[in-house]
Amino acid sequence: MRWWFKARKGHTLLPLALAVFLGALYAVQDTTVLLPSIVGSPRVALSLFVPVPLLAFLMAALESRLPAAESSGVRSLARLDNSLITAVMAAAVLCGVLVAAVQGTAAATTGGRNALFLTGLMLIGRAWVGQAAVMVPVGWLVTIAVVGFRGNLPYAWTVIALPADHVFAAAASLIVFAIGLVSHTRSSRRSA
């Protein structure tokens, strides 16, 4: 297991990823930016984009492997990989809660929730397009920026643009993340 963790660069990439995530979440606070859009010019919270580097690091970790040995081996690594992903997401949610507590605003908690949702999307995409799936969450963000708002109000389907206390957004993030884990397990089995 130790070699698997080192192969995934769990001891180098992931602490760095979480440090970047935490730092960015703390730095952006409640900052909003004006984005070009088809419908109006919505002010979008900058924290929406904070999970992107975390996802890129996570994808790099998952792709750091010995494809031949792992696909012809006896041990299934899908469960270990899923545990790693879940641990990183738990840490991301914790980072959000921590920053929210320090700053006294609930907005930062969306960082963790959004990381869950976007990771789920990325894992679903990875089952189809492999490493390129890191672009799926980016595509989602671009779509939201372009057509996800009515005036300054986000549509419910955007999920990640919804406020921190939105129950639907929290539930959707958990469901998409769970589907992502299942997709990841199934694609690991298929490639094995």
Partner 1 sequence: MTLELTNCTYGYRRWKPPVLRDFSYTLPEGLTILLGPNGAGKSTLLKLGASVTRPQRGRVTLDGSPAGTAPYRRAVAWMPQDITPMPTLTAREYVAYIGWLKGMNRTDAWKQARKALVRVNLADQVDSRTNRLSGGQLRRVGVAGALVHGARILLLDEPTAGMDPYQRRVFRDILRGLTEDVRVLLSTHDVADLAEEADHVTVMHGGGVIHHGNTGTFLRHTPPGTLEGRAAEAAYTELLRSRGVAA
* Residue numbers at the binding site for partner 1 (CB under 8 A): 2-4, 6-7, 9, 11-12, 64-75, 77, 191-192
In 3D space, the residue among 142, 133, 140, 92 whose CA is nearest the CA of residue 116 turns out to be: 92
Q: Which is nearer to partner 1, 63 or 146 (CB)?
A: 63
Question: Least distance to partner 1 from the beta carbon of 180, Å?
Answer: 24
d(CA 160, CA 89): 15
Q: Which is nearer to partner 1, 7 or 179 (CB)?
A: 7
Q: Which is nearer to partner 1, 5 or 155 (CB)?
A: 5
Q: Which is nearer to partner 1, 65 or 166 (CB)?
A: 65
Q: Which is nearer to partner 1, 53 or 63 (CB)?
A: 63
Looking at the DSSP bridge assignments, the partners of residue 83 are: none
Question: Least distance to partner 1 from the beta carbon of 82, Å?
Answer: 17
Give the three-state DSSP class for 32: strand
- For residue 86, the tally of other CB atoms under 10 A from its CB is 14
First to last CA, the chain: 18
**CA distances to 12, 79, 186 from 16, in Å:** 6, 23, 28
Question: Least distance to partner 1 from the beta carbon of 61, Å?
Answer: 11
d(CA 50, CA 48): 6
Question: Least distance to partner 1 from the beta carbon of 65, Å?
Answer: 8
Question: Least distance to partner 1 from the beta carbon of 74, Å?
Answer: 4
